[in-house]
Amino acid sequence: MADKNIAVRDRLIFAMDVPDCRQARKLADELGDSVNFYKLGLELMMTGEYFELLDWMLARDKKVFADLKFFDIPATVGAAVRGLRNRGATFVTVHGNQAIMEAAAENKGDDLKVLAVTVLTSLDRGDLDDLGFDCDVEALVLSRARRALETGCDGVISSGLEAPQLREHIDHKLLVVTPGIRPVDNKPSGDQKRVVSVEQAFGNGADHIVVGRPIRDAASPRAAAESIQATIATVFG
């Protein structure tokens, strides 16, 4: 397991995938202190109230992962990261080649950490074939992770399935944030294809896990989050 100095209850990041900021605030209030770290993505960005919600989260001592997956020419990505770096977010995601990642890293400042997307957990071997990648998933993840570290990024977004190889072949200082978590079983569902359990993710070397539907769609989201937190506490106990 990764041994970085991360508060145990900050290892769970809840994916706030709801259609508007009113619902986001309501759900955050319901979750209370069961969740300390929130992922705010593109759906909420398009509401026009993204930064108001970010500030609202920060005022309640929550951490924010701005999952915006910047992908454009390097100058534009650098400018976007520069515009975000003083807004209080902890993480931001970028896609792209070495020049794009370098631009993001050069503009992140002291507090914002840049996470490079390796291979989305919604993609499998067939999807990579469609995209023209003539290599296996593991090789592609390792290649992108190496480039991310070389360019000054702080970490990567990676399935827990590839995390062991990242820890074996890439410097341990690299942050590994793992989506595609299924607390109950390890069966793909929805748009996630490469999934792992909470225990598997951390056992394989993840620093943080990102969980969405298993909390959001539970009969009691707070109880679901607390159950995951209890599992994490056991893992790191």
- Residue 127 pLDDT: 45
pLDDT(7) > 90: yes
The verdict on residue 52 lying in a domain is: yes
| Pairing label, strands 175-178, 113-117 | unpaired
Structural domain includes residue 214: yes
Tell whether 2 is covered by a domain: no
Q: 193 catalytic, yes or no?
A: no
Inter-residue contact 14 to 212 (CB < 8 Å)? yes
* pLDDT per residue as tens digits for the range 18-65: 999 999 999 999 999 999 999 999 999 999 999 999 999 999 999 999
- Structural domain span for residue 220: 8-235
| Distance (Å, whole) CA 11 – CA 98 | 28
The count of domains in the chain is 1
98 within a domain of the structure (yes/no): yes
Predicted confidence (pLDDT) at residue 149 exceeds the cutoff of 80: yes
CATH of residue 46: 3.20.20.70
30 CA to centre of own chain: 22
Token output for 149:
């570290």
Task: Please indicate, yes or no, if residue 230 is contained in any of the structural domains.
Answer: yes
β-strand 12-15 against 208-211: which pairing, if any?
parallel
Rounded-to-integer distance, Cα 180 and Cα 163, Å: 12
| Candidates 4, 39, 69, 113; catalytic one | 69
Domain assignment of residue 1, yes or no: no
Confidence tier at 159 by pLDDT (50, 70, 90): confident
pTM to 2 decimals?
A: 0.89
